[in-house]
């Protein structure tokens, strides 16, 4: 089910020249960093704690993001375990001139709630 809903917007960014690959489109690693940052924000909000990324379960890239595009990352909690949370993520690109929007990437990432010793800590305490 799509998570595209204004209430699920976690992060907005612009595709800038330092983040381009040799095709002139957004480098996949930069997109993964955006997805990870957004997922961590969702997980921290849910657990009210610091979190570690423990697994990027899947990441699919559907359409290249172009220079000057805006990127909107939507995120939603998909599953809560004892100390872990799985977050569903979608990255949509938008051409600021034509306002054309496209699903650029989607991912599912698992985070672990951690205490001040960086050890797993229950999400619901």
Ligand X SMILES: CC(C)(COP(=O)(O)OP(=O)(O)OC[C@H]1O[C@@H](n2cnc3c(N)ncnc32)[C@H](O)[C@@H]1OP(=O)(O)O)[C@@H](O)C(=O)NCCC(=O)NCCS
For 60, other C-beta atoms within 10 Å of its C-beta total 10
26 vs 123 by CB, closer to ligand X: 123
Nearer CB in complex with ligand X: 32/66: 32
Q: Which is nearer to ligand X, 15 or 31 (CB)?
A: 31
- Closest distance to ligand X from the beta carbon of 103 (Å): 24
Helix (H, G, I), strand (E, B) or coil at 7: helix
C-beta of 54: minimal distance to ligand X in Å? 4
Instruction: Output 41 or 54, the one with its CB closest to ligand X.
Output: 54
C-alpha neighbours within 13 Å on the C-beta side of residue 10: 26
Place of tokens 């985070």: 111
Instruction: Please give the residue ranges that form the binding site for ligand X (CB under 6 A).
Output: 52-55, 81-84, 110, 112, 114, 120
Q: How far is CA 13 from CA 8, 31, 67, in A?
A: 15, 10, 11
Q: Which residue is nearest to ligand X (CB)?
A: 81
CB of 36 to ligand X, least distance (A): 8
Q: How far is the CB of 29 from ligand X (least distance, A)?
A: 14
Sheet holding 101-114, edge to edge: 9-14, 70-80, 84-94, 101-114, 50-61
């Amino acid at each position: 089910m799509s998570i595209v809903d204004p209430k699920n917007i976690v992060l907005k960014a612009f595709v800038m020249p330092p983040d381009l690959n040799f095709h002139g489109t957004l480098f996949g690693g930069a997109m993964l960093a955006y997805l990870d940052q957004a997922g961590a924000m969702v997980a921290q909000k849910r657990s009210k704690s610091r979190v570690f990324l423990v697994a990027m379960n899947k990441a699919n890239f559907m359409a290249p993001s172009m220079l000057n595009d805006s990127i909107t990352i939507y995120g939603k909690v998909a599953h809560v375990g004892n100390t872990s949370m799985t977050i569903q993520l979608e990255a949509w690109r938008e051409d600021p001139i034509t306002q054309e929007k496209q699903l650029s990437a989607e991912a599912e990432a698992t985070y672990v709630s951690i205490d001040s010793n960086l050890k797993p800590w229950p999400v619901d305490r």
